[in-house]
Amino acid sequence: MATWNATKPSETQTMAGPLTTKERKRILFICTHNYARSQMAEGIAKALFGDRFDASSAGTRPTSVNPLAIRAMREIGIDISLHRAKRLKGLEGEEFDFVVTLCSDA
């Protein structure tokens, strides 16, 4: 079983302390089906950088979350079992600071 050894900065490492919801940058991970890669990226971003980023994911043609992605994330201590595939069109009008595509068709 793999373990996740990455560390995230503690509040004592930042001069101003934790960011408010308004100050956190919004990041969107996009993949065609919002099936695995984008869900995993959202989970990792929330687990490691949730104090600095508001992470979301969506797909152009969403299906469902891949059970193997859920299992792989569980192996590194991150639970995405409650994630649901989301349609990119449902986020129209929302603003993001960063948008990351994780497949060539998205």
Q: What is the pLDDT of residues 27-85, one digit of tens each?
A: 999 999 999 999 999 999 999 999 999 999 999 999 999 999 999 999 999 999 999 99
pLDDT at 61: 96
- Structural domain containing residue 88: 21-101
Write the DSSP string, the chain. Answer: ----------GGGSSS-SPPTTTSEEEEEEESSSSSHHHHHHHHHHHHHTTTEEEEEEESS-----HHHHHHHHHTT---TT----BGGGGTT---SEEEE-STT-
Choice between 105 and 81, residue whose per-residue pLDDT is larger: 81
Residue 7 lies in a domain: no
Is 4 part of a structural domain of the chain?
Answer: no
**Residue 62 one-letter amino acid:** P
Domain-embedded: residue 5: no
Q: What is the pLDDT of residue 15?
A: 54
Which tokens is 41 given? 């990226």
Count of structural domains, the chain: 1
Tell me if 10 is assigned to some domain: no
- C-alpha span between 86 and 83 (Å, rounded): 9
Residue 65 lies in a domain: yes
Task: Examine residue 11 and state whether it is found in any structural domain, yes or no.
Answer: no
CATH number at residue 49: 3.40.50.2300
The answer to the question of residue 6 being in a domain is no
Examine residue 12 and state whether it is found in any structural domain, yes or no: no
